[in-house]
Structure formats: C-alpha cells, structure tokens
Amino acid sequence: MKSRSSLRSLKHRPGSIVVRRRGRTFVINKRSPHWNGRQS
C-alpha cells in the first residue's frame, strides 16, 4: 500500500473505490492491489 499526499491518480484506476476509515482516506482496488493507497 502506498502512503500518498494525493489520491487523485489512484482513484481514476479501473476498479478502485475510495473509502474513509478511522479518519484516514483509503483507495482500495481489488482488481489490481498494486494501486491500493492511504492518505493520512
């Protein structure tokens, strides 16, 4: 999982979903988990 300052590039990937958990923003991609990301 990549920790990034901006998730804009990750959320445009096919199959990605933006989720908010515990005050953090996550991008979850089940199609290609290489594009998972977290923003603090």
> What is the model's pLDDT at position 16?
97
Domain containing 34 equals 2-39
Residue 40 confidence (pLDDT) above 90:
no
Against a cut of 0.85, is the pTM above it? no
Is residue 33 over pLDDT 90?
Answer: yes
Q: How many domains does the chain have?
A: 1
How far, rounded to the nearest angstrom, does the alpha carbon of residue 35 sit from its chain's CA centroid? 7
Read off the pLDDT of residues 2-29 as tens digits, 9 standing for 90 and up: 899 999 999 999 999 999 999 999 999 9
What pLDDT was estimated at residue 12?
96
CA distance to 15, 25, 32, 39, per residue, from 7 (Å):
14, 9, 16, 7
